[in-house]
Amino acid sequence: MSSVQRICVLGATGSIGLSTLDVIARHPERYRVFALSGYSRLAELEALCLQHRPRFAVVPDAGQARHLQGGLIGAGLDTRVLVGEQGLCEVAGHPDVDVVMAAIVGAAGLKPTLAAVEAGKRVLLANKEALVMSGALFMHAVKASGAVLLPIDSEHNAIFQCLPTDYSRGLAAVGVRRILLTASGGPFRQTPLEQLEQVSPEQACAHPNWSMGRKISVDSASMMNKGLELIEACWLFDARPAQIEVVIHPQSVIHSLVDYVDGSVLAQLGNPDMRTPIAHALSWPERIDSGVSALDLFSVARLDFQAPDEQRFPCLRLARAAAEAGGSVPAMLNAANEVAVAAFLERRIRFTEIAVIIEDVLNRESATAVETLDAVLAADQRARTSALEWLRRHGR
């Protein structure tokens, strides 16, 4: 690998993308931005291009590409602007790229993330939906290409840090009894149950500890985020769903734990700032400064834990069942959730209807095996259509 690593940031204008660029900018001697992508907020993407001077930028359509290309040429940059999913896959798998940050939100990130995996890159995985959808296929591609897959999700990054380096021998073989996946419980952890159907998108997006994109913020409020993370952890660490216990820990200081057969429990702690897992994955196995301040245990003062309540968080039950069912079910769960969350953010459904829609879709659509990318995409499409039908049936 060259001494300066060339980085492709997919989803550069988002919360994870911007945190990644913040860490990169602290280490110009180690990292150079090779490509940036954005889907909306293209004025911000242009400003990021002016700051980081990437070789490529990727936008959703040709008109936006012409506009951005004109602006960049006017500013004296030779950045080439590419278009759409094809452009994303091209930069993610480009021979001159060393590291790909997969930080597009949702199913839209699947193909570009897979392109990076298939090209054998160091892949920093924030886009959990891609792995949830295509689990077996995705992990198979990692093994086949020799890609280095490093988790950005703070919980999975914590688990990775608490496991021995040879954990791929199998969790039992390295003495792991359970993985304890922590969750903040989100903004509605203590909201009276009867008020949950009245909560607004603004309330759902006001996460107590983390500042994130809107989709993952709603997922955190419903705890579907933890459900997706449970499925993500099964694939990343070759765990059975029963080996993973979700623990509500409202302070978000412990980012997850690994429980060993001898009674040792290892945890990773830190301030809730995504620049820590990003810096870890960028520099692994070394360590670099992330810009995150040192954890002050005296101001944290206490750490609380409680079991999740499945009546309050039905999405968690649905996701665990999907993890156990396997096949196309996690992809359908994810797709139905994406449609439902978008409808909630547009104020077309109530917060509590997110789980209702997902359960309805999973009850209607039969599970299939998903051995090819086409099968994954077909399952995703079936579930989206089914969720949209729910909306139509209910006049939303």
Binding residues vs Mg ion (CB under 5 A): 153, 155
Cα dihedral sign, 212-214-215-217: positive
Residue 146 CA: distances (Å) to CA of 119, 124, 356: 9, 14, 40
| 394 marked among binding-site residues | no
Q: Which does 279 bind (CB under 5 to 8 A by kind): ligand NAD, Mg ion, none?
A: none
Rg of the Cα atoms in the chain = 20
Min CB(281)–Mg ion separation in Å: 13
Nearest CB to ligand NAD, comparing residues 63 and 175: 63
Would you give the DSSP letter of residue 261?
Answer: T
| 271 marked among binding-site residues | no
Q: Which does 274 bind (CB under 5 to 8 A by kind): ligand NAD, Mg ion, none?
A: ligand NAD
Min CB(190)–ligand NAD separation in Å: 22
Nearest residue to ligand NAD by CB is: 14
| 128 marked among binding-site residues | yes
174: CB partners within 8 A, 6+ apart: 163, 164, 166, 167
Min CB(225)–ligand NAD separation in Å: 7
Nearest residue to Mg ion by CB is: 153
Nearest CB to Mg ion, comparing residues 14 and 87: 14
Q: Which does 79 bind (CB under 5 to 8 A by kind): ligand NAD, Mg ion, none?
A: none
| 184 marked among binding-site residues | yes
The residue length of the chain stands at: 396
314-325 vs 353-364: helix crossing angle, rounded to 10: 20
Nearest CB to ligand NAD, comparing residues 248 and 360: 248
Looking at the DSSP bridge assignments, the partners of residue 9 are 36, 101
Cα dihedral sign, 87-90-92-95: negative
Q: Which does 40 bind (CB under 5 to 8 A by kind): ligand NAD, Mg ion, none?
A: ligand NAD
333: CB partners within 8 A, 6+ apart: 132, 227, 318, 319, 322, 358, 362, 383
Half-sphere exposure of 151 (CA within 13 A, CB side): 24
Tell me how far apart the alpha carbons of residues 281 and 149 are, in angstroms, rounded to a whole number: 9
Min CB(23)–ligand NAD separation in Å: 13
Min CB(37)–ligand NAD separation in Å: 6
| 16 marked among binding-site residues | yes
Q: Which does 108 bind (CB under 5 to 8 A by kind): ligand NAD, Mg ion, none?
A: ligand NAD
Nearest CB to Mg ion, comparing residues 46 and 155: 155
Q: Which does 39 bind (CB under 5 to 8 A by kind): Mg ion, ligand NAD, none?
A: ligand NAD
Burial of 249 (0-12, 13-18, 19+ CB in 10 A): buried
| 207 marked among binding-site residues | yes
Min CB(264)–Mg ion separation in Å: 24
Q: Which does 314 bind (CB under 5 to 8 A by kind): Mg ion, ligand NAD, none?
A: none
Taking alpha carbons only, the member of 103, 66, 237 closest to residue 161 is 237
Nearest CB to ligand NAD, comparing residues 318 and 360: 318
Nearest CB to Mg ion, comparing residues 224 and 377: 224
Extract the tokens encoding 385.
């259509």
Element (H, E) at 99: strand 99-102
| 154 marked among binding-site residues | yes
Nearest CB to Mg ion, comparing residues 93 and 277: 277
Min CB(13)–ligand NAD separation in Å: 4
Residues that bind ligand NAD (CB under 6 A): 11-17, 38-40, 103-105, 108, 126-129, 153, 210, 212-213, 215-216, 274
Cβ atoms of 25 and 48 closer than 8 Å: no
Tell me how far apart the alpha carbons of residues 170 and 166 are, in angstroms, rounded to a whole number: 8
Min CB(153)–Mg ion separation in Å: 4
Nearest CB to Mg ion, comparing residues 153 and 353: 153
| 111 marked among binding-site residues | no
Tell me how far apart the alpha carbons of residues 261 and 153 are, in angstroms, rounded to a whole number: 25
Extract the tokens encoding 113.
């993330």
Which residues participate in the annotated binding site? 13-16, 127-129, 153-155, 184, 207, 213, 220, 225-226, 229
Task: Report the binding-site residues for Mn(2+).
Answer: 153, 155, 229
